[in-house]
Structure 1
Amino acid sequence: MTGPPEPDALGTLLRHVLEQIDADVATVYRERGLADYRPRFSPLVRALVAHGPMSIRALAQRVGVTHSAASQTVAAMRRAEFVRLSSGTDARQRIVELTPRATDLLPLIESEWNATTAAIRELDAELPMPLSELLARVDAALRRRPLRQRITEAGLGDH
């Protein structure tokens, strides 16, 4: 993409911003020799460090993503040998645990997290409102009245 999407293409604009952020963080890891580490791994790693091994469902709830998203991320982390899976209390449950490779990288992962948090705070200073606060407000507004309802009320109707 050569420039930002048009402002009315909200979904495209949100994806564009997220892709910029993720690409920059991924570059930080790549420059440090970790080309197979993805920014989306960090919330799961941090949850596993803080709370120990847990099921994919519990991990999804802990980090605030769908079970499907957590399962896909865990699969990618397993392929890169950052986590291992074991059977839970029943055959369907899979318990996620960090591997020694991941625990060896914890100082770098934590350092990146802290530096990224500081960089986001610096970015926030350039904005009229911190990005996280704006996104939390958007989330709350959509929970009160979903976009689907707003679209219908805007006049789409049953075409």
Structure 2
Amino acid sequence: MNAAMNRAWGTQGLGTRLRHVLELLEGDVAKFEEDLGLEDYRPRFTPVVRALVAEGPLSIRDLAEAMAVTHSAASQTVAQMAKRGLVALEAGVDARQRIVSLTPKTRALTPVLESEWAAASEAAGQLEAELPYPLTDLLTAIVEALDRKPFRDRIAETPSARGLT
């Protein structure tokens, strides 16, 4: 990293840094997927496809739980995938419930996707080997710490936040 980038990082918050790392990782995964001819596929679709491969058709609520994201995030991703013909939506038992399933198009892509996932996992392992500590362990620790005490509470307890509320 050059000196200018080091100075810029000094002014950036945790969220900005996390988003930047995610942009770098997802951007390169997307480029690799394009190299494989998967122009219509996005890295953010992978958790949906993996959950549906493992579990079969799921409601959006169950899919969100399997992906560890909000219902809204799962619904938005599913909508993008449906527009591309990667998933199909059907009404569930309850008219408000929607069941998501893979389309034949996506099932046909699954062998290539599974190979890409394996390659990305190997690359992540290589990246972690270069780091002073495993990134997955650190991210797990962050989630556990935030489960114990949400960031909102942590912000509210700071001296800077006193008098704001």
> What is the one-letter code of the residue matched to 2:24?
Q
What are the within-5 Å matches in structure 2 for residues 108-119 of structure 1?
Answer: 108-119=112-123
Residue of 118, 139, 142 corresponding to 1:135: 139
What are the within-5 Å matches in structure 2 for residues 8-19 of structure 1?
Answer: 8-19=12-23
> Which residue is 1:147 aligned to?
151
Q: State how many pairs are aligned.
A: 158
> Which residue is 2:93 aligned to?
89
**1:8-62 C-alpha deviation (Å, 9 max, x unpaired):** 4211110000001000000011112211100011111011011111111111101
Residue of 67, 73, 78 corresponding to 2:71: 67
What are the within-5 Å matches in structure 2 for residues 20-39 of structure 1?
Answer: 20-39=24-43
* Mapped pair 1:100 → 2:113: no
**Structure 1-normalised TM-score?**
0.94
3-state SS of paired residue (1:85): strand
> Which residue is 1:158 aligned to?
163
Shift of residue 147 of structure 1?
1.9
**1:62-86 C-alpha deviation (Å, 9 max, x unpaired):** 1111000000000011011110101
Gapped regions of structure 2 (runs ≥ 5)? none
Tell me the distance in 2 between the aligned counterparts of 1:90 and 1:154: 45
> What is the one-letter code of the residue matched to 1:100?
P
3-state SS of paired residue (1:6): helix
3-state SS of paired residue (1:86): strand
Q: Which structure: greater helix fraction? A: 2
> What is the one-letter code of the residue matched to 1:44?
V
> What is the one-letter code of the residue matched to 1:125?
A
> What is the one-letter code of the residue matched to 1:81?
G
Tell me the distance in 2 between the aligned counterparts of 1:56 and 1:143: 23
Gapped regions of structure 1 (runs ≥ 5)? none
> What is the one-letter code of the residue matched to 2:83?
R
**Structure 2-normalised TM-score?**
0.91
Shift of residue 3 of structure 1?
4.4
